[in-house]
Amino acid sequence: MADVTIQGFQKFYGSVEVIPPLDLEIRTGEFVVLVGPSGSGKSTLLRMIAGLEKIDAGTVSIDGEDITGRDPGDRDMAMVFQSYALYPHMTVAENMTFALRMRGTGDAVIRERLTEALRMLSLEGYENRKPAQLSGGQRQRVAMGRAIVRQPRVFLFDEPLSNLDAKLRARTRLELRELHDRLGATSIFVTHDQIEAMTMADRIVLLDHGRIQQIGSPREIYEEPRNRFVASFIGSPEINLLEGSLHVDGDTIIFNGLTLPGRKAEMPTGGEYTLGIRPEAFDVSAEPLAGTAPLAIRAVEYTGSDVFVFGTIDAGPLTVKLPAEGHSLRDGIGAGTIIHVRPRAEGWHLFDRSGQRVVKT
């Protein structure tokens, strides 16, 4: 059991409020990812939970037990740092067992947990090496091992994958998630990488300027962004955001000359809005059909599995992802050609001037 409850967390640097009052509830065994751009306060929030950063107001508790005033070492939390922070003068085994030795755990227990962690992380045979004699991936695993042997109630991860190359990062992502499922401990993971957030999280907490923008499952965050910031932060390539005016005439919805299918229940009748459409939420054809708009192609990006088309319609610039393999349009398009696009009925969002979503898909 390790429910983590944060109430009224607040942090100032001088007179600047970096974390406005913030509440967050993390349930036992959950893998929660704090994600946001640089300066969003995600690392600060994690360090406040860990006890490494002073809390100016608010409390943090585990299973109802207030641990706000406790030393970082007395919170039963283990942290994996971005730089791994391995002790350079200690061997792998000494690094991994340091915390246990500090709290006077018996030798037999230490040996047992070390052996188990080394096996789990495929580090057998490396226990007598110093960190300098290891590769980046191995160091990362030692840092993980150092957290695992403690069997803490809560794991804290501060961008632990960002120093790995892309291939290794993808593999470690999966291993980390599997490890979490096996250990069943509560995990709080900080990253600025939306792919990491989407692929690993049970729930994502999206932060900007210290404020929670949205909490939800990866699917909720992607498909039902609560505001413009969430919509544009999650998704690659970015969601298309078009500024313009909306006209609703009976069942016909026109946005800057673009016809939007699918009448929504809470539809406003008109006004200035931002239209958000994900690149994959378009029907595409070579010939004009009912409700399509001509897209003048500026560039085409081929990534192997996907083809992204960058161009302009009358309503503004658009990025469109072409449908799956085998679509007739995948060949024969290029800069200067024209295709016809139509937003899908369930694929668009409307945000008001303050950035809040007004129409649900």
- 93 sits near another protein (criterion: CB under 8 A): no
| Residue from 60, 62, 78, 93 binding another protein (CB under 8 A) | 78
Which residue, 81 or 308, has its beta carbon nearer to another protein?
81
The burial class, CB within 10 Å (0-12 / 13-18 / 19+), for 74 is: exposed
Site size with another protein, rule: CB under 8 A:
25
**Residue 174 binds another protein, judged by CB under 8 A:** no
**For another protein, which stretch binds (CB under 8 A), given 49-57, 164-172, 246-254, 270-278?**
49-57
Please answer whether residues 32 and 5 qualify as being in contact, where contact means their C-beta atoms are separated by less than 8 angstroms: no
Beta bridge partners of 277: 240, 348
Residue 360: which of 281, 263, 291, 229 has the closest Cα?
A: 263
Query: Using an 8 Å Cβ cutoff, are 76 and 153 in contact?
Result: yes
In the complex, the smallest distance separating the C-beta of residue 55 from another protein, rounded to whole angstroms, is 14
Q: Does 294 bind another protein (CB under 8 A)?
A: no
Query: Quick one: 64 or 104, whose CB is closer to another protein?
Result: 104
Site for another protein contains 102 (CB under 8 A) = yes
If we measure between CA atoms, which residue out of 201, 186, 202, 193 comes closest to residue 164?
A: 193
Given a contact cutoff of 8 angstroms between Cβ atoms, the answer to whether 5 and 61 are in contact is: yes
Quote the CA–CA distance of 153 and 184 in Å, as a whole number: 9
CA distance 180 to 322: 36
Cβ proximity to another protein: between 47 and 173 the closer is: 47
Classify residue 64 as exposed, middle or buried by CB count within 10 Å of its CB (0-12, 13-18, 19+).
exposed
Question: 173-198 burial, b for 16+ CB within 10 Å, e for fewer?
Answer: beebbebbeebebbbbbbbbbbebbb
By CB under 8 A, tell whether 98 contacts another protein: yes
Q: Does 170 participate in binding another protein (rule CB under 8 A)?
A: no
Q: Binding of another protein at residue 300 (CB under 8 A)? A: no
Among 63, 66, 74, 181, binds another protein (CB under 8 A): 74
CB of 24 to another protein, least distance (A): 20
**What minimum distance in Å lies between the beta carbon of 82 and another protein?**
7
- Smallest separation (angstroms) from another protein to the CB of 286: 54
Torsions phi, psi for 249 (to 5 deg): -130, 100
Of 35-43, 46-54, 55-63, 286-294: span binding another protein (CB under 8 A): 46-54
Contact between 60 and another protein by CB under 8 A: the answer reads: no
Q: How far is the CB of 310 from another protein (least distance, A)?
A: 38
List 57, 69, 83, 263, residue binding another protein (CB under 8 A): 83
Please give the structure tokens belonging to residue 95: 């690094």
Residues binding another protein (CB under 8 A): 47, 50-52, 54, 71-74, 77-79, 81-83, 85-89, 98-99, 102-103, 146
